[in-house]
Structure 1
């Protein structure tokens, strides 16, 4: 499993209706994309849900590298580049993916928490902790899915979760509204610890 995200930060006065329409018109195009486990079409608006910025920031879980590469190199990603310029694409190696207690429910919100692995913490300990935390998120009421991944170039862990309702109290991270979910290979994403 591989996680991927790019963020397109928009002007404070940007009409976010443009993003909603874009997803309504184009979101279905990845509903059957080969190699894709899940794409959550995410946005956040400045001043809402604690966000300091307005962004369009889709988050992907790939079950094959070939699918991810096909999206990046064979045209899917080019539409973003054509419309907004080429954003940096963050990638993380998957550690765990867990279905939530509300699996199968439509996701309304997503939370992404990125944190640096502190110097001196054994990497195996940091990875095991991230897996355990993803499991705890998935077990909370309203959780649709939780995943953990790591960027070994930056030694950064990302915890990503989808929720059927509002974000439960005590859940930390950046909050995004979910506009659409394409999940053609959700059942092929490996569950549990990945090593």
Structure 2
């Protein structure tokens, strides 16, 4: 909700005292989770938590693409949501250069050693005793969603649709930095057209 709704309000209150942690996961995995839980952007349920792909305030104006016969599958709307969040993160990084943004992958979140280093970087912990306590909390599942009505989508189909949507976005000026799972997209400034930013 932070990057979607009130980062500007937080910045007005805290200025350079604020830091932002950008937690990310690869696009296909995020979209697959949203689809299987049926929290689809553009639906009543999806819009309650996420974004409507038809909104004029979106940085990636893909409603015509997503409403076309070629991209009607709901998985594409979930993919769009991932790219939109990454675009907004890139936008605010550029707009607020005086605050620290920290990129953290989901895999790192479950790695004790990397999280200890991350906590030290943030200044949250500094003593060995405190770090030892944190080991008991990292990398352990404390809850799990159980949805008997959860949909499934074959991984091969996921990969095919991901590559197809990625190609469509590339043609519109949005690039992907690497095809490896834990890399975030490269923001293409030529596509960062002011006609999108005027709505902020």
TM range (shorter): under 0.3
**Larger fraction in helix:** 2
**Larger fraction in strand:** 1
Q: Structure 1 length normalisation: TM-score?
A: 0.28
Q: Which has the larger radius of gyration?
A: 2
